[in-house]
A and B are shown apart, each in its own frame.
Chain A
Amino acid sequence: MQKAAGWAVAIVCPVMILALYLNFLGAPDDAVLGPSQRIFYIHMGAAVTAAVAFTVTFAASLAYLATRRQRWDVLAAASAEVGIVFTAMVLVTGILWGRVAWGVWWTWDPRLTTTLMLWALYGGYLIVRDAVDNSDRRARISAVLALVAYVDVPLDYMTIRWWNSVHPLVITNHGLAVAPSMAVAMFMSMAAMLGVYGVWLALRMRLMAVELGIEEAKAVWQNRGI
């Protein structure tokens, strides 16, 4: 496991360095927004990674309810934790970009509202996990909540398509709405962030498995009166 993690880091590091090079040096400045446009690459990469993370949580929760295997619950929880961090990155970079592009730090636009909602919902999911002591019940209740919270993910994606929004539309029906040189930087950023997500997920899952082992050992000791 440790060897695999080492290999994963060895692959992700060069991808991340290349992505950072393209984001900050390789891609051209935007004609209107200037260098502040570079925030967009981080923003987009983090947004795609957060969506993938919550989709993994959704799928793992579904798998847990179907099979009742603890490893699915561990995967769901670890992915949600990492997903929350990436959603926070989306919000922070979005706020910074919005200040330059729209002149305001925050606006109650449908996309911004649903993203904030997403962040808070999965925050609630993690709070619920902490509030239940019994590991089986925790896994079951949080799997149910993860499935319910996932409703917001497609909603978040579709808001700018369904309702009037000031948020730019990058992926349109006619293809990408960015210049090809910018698209390369954007995709590289996505790849790098997905790599970071993968490594982080593996590490977090390993840690959670250890935590569960300790919990089970404690329960056994308590039952034996040790």
Chain B
Amino acid sequence: MASMRKWVLVVVKDLQIEWRRKDFGAATVGLGIMAVVVFRVTLGATTRLGPALASAMLWIDCAYVGIITITRIYAREVPENAMLGLGLMPGGRIAIFLAKVFLALMFLQCNQILVLTLIGHGLLLQALNRAVWFELILLLGGLGIALVGTFVSAVGFNVAGDDVVTPLLAALLPLPVLICAAQSTADLWLGKHLGLWLQGLIGYDVVFLVLPMALHEFVWEV
């Protein structure tokens, strides 16, 4: 119960900080627009966006958000050693991690919605036809990136040269998630059967849900 309360408090605290600073939100919107603009300029305004390219655009954008914003999710706890205070609150420390993952997933889902709206109405309508499956892929892909990004951010918090190490790890570790998610999204748009890619996505999410939960305490040991 105490952990649940802690989880809620951390989520509310971070949302209030975001409401005041709007840095993560701005970065999410900015990166979303930037990725679409770069792709559109490169492809030419008249080129019709196919499922493979649209899928790549969507997940490259998520990777950007994962690397640039989610890996900084613990940075808010640096001033005045706020992490120590959070750690001393009643409830397990894993509640802090899960609250951060939840927030990261929220930002990623907002980013995904933004990019999907910018991609074009044709593909968006196609996605809405299989809305449940589409949301499942977005959620699983987003969760994978959020889990890895948040965990890497926690590791980076404890490492002196985290400016280089954290983005490097955050770029490499979710690669299987990105590959599986991009392939699943493209397959869904093409009307193909979702097989191995979706299973791979679920498998990787499970691994990265279990691993950080098992290892999180070691990261924050004093």
Residue positions of A touching B, CB distance < 8 A: 65, 110, 113-114, 117, 120-121, 124, 127-128, 130-133, 137, 140-141, 143-145, 147-149, 151, 155, 162-163
Contact = CB atoms under 8 A, between A and B. Distances in A.
B172 A148 contact: no
Nearest to B212: A148
Contacts of B172: 117, 120-121, 124
Contacts of A121: 169, 172-173
A214 to B, nearest CB: 20
The B contact surface, by secondary structure, is: helix
6 contacts: A113-B175, A124-B165, A128-B165, A141-B155, A144-B155, A162-B196
Contacts of B37: none
B62 to A, nearest CB: 18
Interface stretch (B74-82, B117-125, B214-222): B214-222
Contact of A140 (B151, B196, B200, B221): B221
Given A124-B172, A128-B165, A163-B196, A141 B219 contact: yes
B144 to A, nearest CB: 12
Contacts of A141: 155, 158-159, 219
B168 A120 contact: yes
B92 interface: no
B34 interface: no
B207 interface: yes
Interface string B145-178: 0000001000100111110110011001101100
Nearest to B158: A141
B128 interface: no
A7 to B, nearest CB: 38
B211 interface: yes
Contacts of B208: 151
Nearest to B211: A148
Q: Which 3 A-B pairs have the closest CB atoms?
A: A131-B161, A144-B215, A131-B159
Contacts of B161: 127, 130-131
A148 B214 CA distance: 11
A144 B172 CA distance: 16
Contacts of A147: 211, 215
A127 B165 contact: yes
A128 B165 CA distance: 7
A62 B211 CA distance: 12
A133 B160 contact: yes
A147 B200 CA distance: 19
Nearest to A138: B159
Given A121-B169, A127-B161, A162-B200, A144 B218 contact: yes
B28 to A, nearest CB: 25
Contacts of A162: 196, 200
Given A124-B172, A148-B173, A143 B164 contact: no
B155 A128 contact: yes
Given A113-B179, A121-B172, A141-B159, 8 more contacts: A121-B173, A127-B161, A131-B159, A131-B161, A145-B155, A145-B169, A147-B215, A151-B207
Contacts of B155: 128, 141, 144-145
A92 B200 CA distance: 28
Contacts of A144: 155, 215, 218-219
Nearest to A154: B207
B169 A124 contact: yes
Nearest to A123: B168
Contact of A137 (B151, B158, B169): B158
Contacts of B159: 128, 131-132, 141
A133 B211 CA distance: 25
Contacts of B207: 151
